[in-house]
Chains A and B, each alone.
Chain A
Amino acid sequence: MSRTLEADVHPPYAHPGYRSTHLRAPKQPLVRVAPSPLEAAAPAFPKQFVTEAEADLTTWGKSAPLGEKMVLVGRVLDEAGRPVRRSLVEVWQANASGRYPHPVDDHDAPLDPNFLGKGQVLTDDEGRYRVVTIKPGAYPWKNHAFAWRPAHIHLSLFGNSYAQRLITQMFFPGDPLLAIDPIFNSVPDEAGRRTLIADLDLEHGVEGVALGYRFDIVLRGPRATPMGA
């Protein structure tokens, strides 16, 4: 049953509309095995691995970065709704002009010397995280004619077991580019796609300063598998 669930939720490897999958998507079926004792555990990030300042992407430069300041809050939960505690959440994103400070990003948009676009935070005992940043810009890419990625923030999560390890992207409500994005639309069902869109959450913003958005993340629970399968 959980196998069907997984298959429904995640994109397939091969998605014709996303060109980079053509030569990279495995073609053989996955071999299903029970998580090993290793995969049932997760790397433990020491407390000092993360500093409080790393949760605020807007304070790294000499002055504030350009763009619309925002607060991203959310909870990391497992499928049973239990909080994933003290777990590393890494975020990275383009600047307000839709440009990454990466050597292979050739989008002709300005870099922002006051914005590196990376941060990290550990979830608290309720599974909550909070990141302060700016809203990233959309940017063109070469997948097809007039292809533009909708504004998005990348998130990397570890969870309580290595089998839960997840990298995903968070999108913004009401973005017209979502309709033409093959990466977002690789998620097979509409309910799944909707979970990748943050909700505007004014109360978690800062009055007169920053808009709040909420993005909750659900990591799969341990797979129910017969002993020794």
Chain B
Amino acid sequence: MAKPTPSQTVGPFFARELLWSDGGNVLFPGRGERITLTGRVLDGAGAPVVDALFETWQMDGAGKLPAAGEAARPYGYGRVSTGANGGYAIVTVMPGPFTGPGGETYAPQLSVTIFARGLLKAVRTRVFLAPLDAIKDDPLARAIGNPDRLRTLVAARDPNDPTIYRWDVRLQGAGEAVFIDV
């Protein structure tokens, strides 16, 4: 077995190289319930992380893997950088729940990977687009157990606009998001 190549930080200088003009608009071949996931990435002092590369990967509205397509970019994959206030926004379709190989049910979620200066390797996690009481059987929810920790991965539906889900990611300290080793 060859050893994996070690990770190194993305650094601060990726903006022109890795960003796409419309990378926050996630493509799918069909229509679906359009939603926006938006929020901020914050550091251990609560300061905005202004130079993170924020990526999402998700199932389609029916809970199926995005197919390979002929679109300009891959289906189901979003990529943006955080802005001056640490903010990000991903416009996409509401992913459906899906089933794992052991029959376990995954709640509606996006897999999220965040790279940044100061992160020697990416932080990976999953954000839930369903309320806490609706995700209890999800494999990650069960692995976390503690509802206070789990809450860090639950996006809050905006009471004034139900198409908007708000999710802040604290990298460190109070309210630190749960990050996963997959």
A and B pair up: yes
A residues near B (Cβ < 8 Å) are 3, 5-6, 8-13, 15, 18-28, 30-39, 41, 43-46, 48-49, 77, 79-81, 90, 92, 94, 100-105, 116-118, 154, 156, 162-163, 165-169, 183-184, 186-187, 191-193, 195-196, 217-220, 223, 227-228
Name the B residues within 8 Å of A77 (CB-CB): 2
Chain B interface size, as a band, is 35 or more
Name the A residues within 8 Å of B59 (CB-CB): 38
Given contacts A23-B45, A26-B172, A37-B106, 18 further A-B contacts (CB under 8 A): A9-B4, A11-B7, A18-B118, A24-B172, A26-B171, A30-B179, A39-B57, A43-B76, A43-B77, A45-B74, A46-B69, A92-B13, A102-B15, A156-B10, A167-B8, A167-B10, A168-B7, A192-B3
Q: Complex: how many Å from CA A48 to CA B73?
A: 9
* Chain A, Cβ-Cβ closest to B74: A43
Q: Complex: how many Å from CA A46 to CA B49?
A: 32
B139 touches A24 (CB 8 A): no
Q: Complex: how many Å from CA A205 to CA B43?
A: 44
Q: Mark B74-106, 1 if CB is under 8 A from A, else 0.
A: 111100000000000000000000111110101
Q: Complex: how many Å from CA A187 to CA B9?
A: 11
B122 touches A165 (CB 8 A): yes
Chain B positions 1-53 with a Cβ under 8 Å from a chain A Cβ: 1-18, 43-45, 47, 49, 51
Q: Complex: how many Å from CA A8 to CA B6?
A: 9
B144 touches A31 (CB 8 A): yes
Name the B residues within 8 Å of A32 (CB-CB): 143, 180-182
Chain A: minimal CB distance from B152 (Å): 10
A102 touches B140 (CB 8 A): no
A33 touches B2 (CB 8 A): no
Choose one: A6, A43, A184, A195; the contact of B181 (CB below 8 Å): A6
User: A-B pairs with CB below 8 Å: how many?
Assistant: 243
Q: Complex: how many Å from CA A49 to CA B70?
A: 9
B120 touches A44 (CB 8 A): no
Q: Complex: how many Å from CA A79 to CA B4?
A: 6
B11 touches A154 (CB 8 A): yes
Is there a chain A Cβ closer than 8 Å to B157's Cβ?
Answer: no
* Chain A, Cβ-Cβ closest to B118: A20
Q: Complex: how many Å from CA A37 to CA B124?
A: 15
B residues near A (Cβ < 8 Å) are 1-18, 43-45, 47, 49, 51, 55, 57-59, 65-77, 98-102, 104, 106, 109, 111, 113, 115-124, 126, 139-140, 143-144, 149, 171-173, 176-182
* Chain A, Cβ-Cβ closest to B43: A23
B73 touches A168 (CB 8 A): no
Q: Complex: how many Å from CA A96 to CA B45?
A: 36
Q: Complex: how many Å from CA A19 to CA B17?
A: 24
Chain B: minimal CB distance from A115 (Å): 12
Choose one: B10, B143, B144; the contact of A154 (CB below 8 Å): B10
Name the A residues within 8 Å of B13 (CB-CB): 92, 94, 100, 102, 104-105
B139 touches A167 (CB 8 A): no
5 residue pairs bridging A and B, Cβ less than 8 Å apart: A20-B118, A28-B149, A48-B70, A166-B7, A167-B10
A90 touches B115 (CB 8 A): no
Given A38-B59, A38-B65, A218-B5: A25 in contact with B10 (beta carbons within 8 A): no
A183 touches B8 (CB 8 A): yes
Name the A residues within 8 Å of B98 (CB-CB): 36-38
Name the B residues within 8 Å of A168 (CB-CB): 5-8
Name the A residues within 8 Å of B180 (CB-CB): 30-33
Name the A residues within 8 Å of B49 (CB-CB): 24
B6 touches A41 (CB 8 A): no
B72 touches A49 (CB 8 A): yes
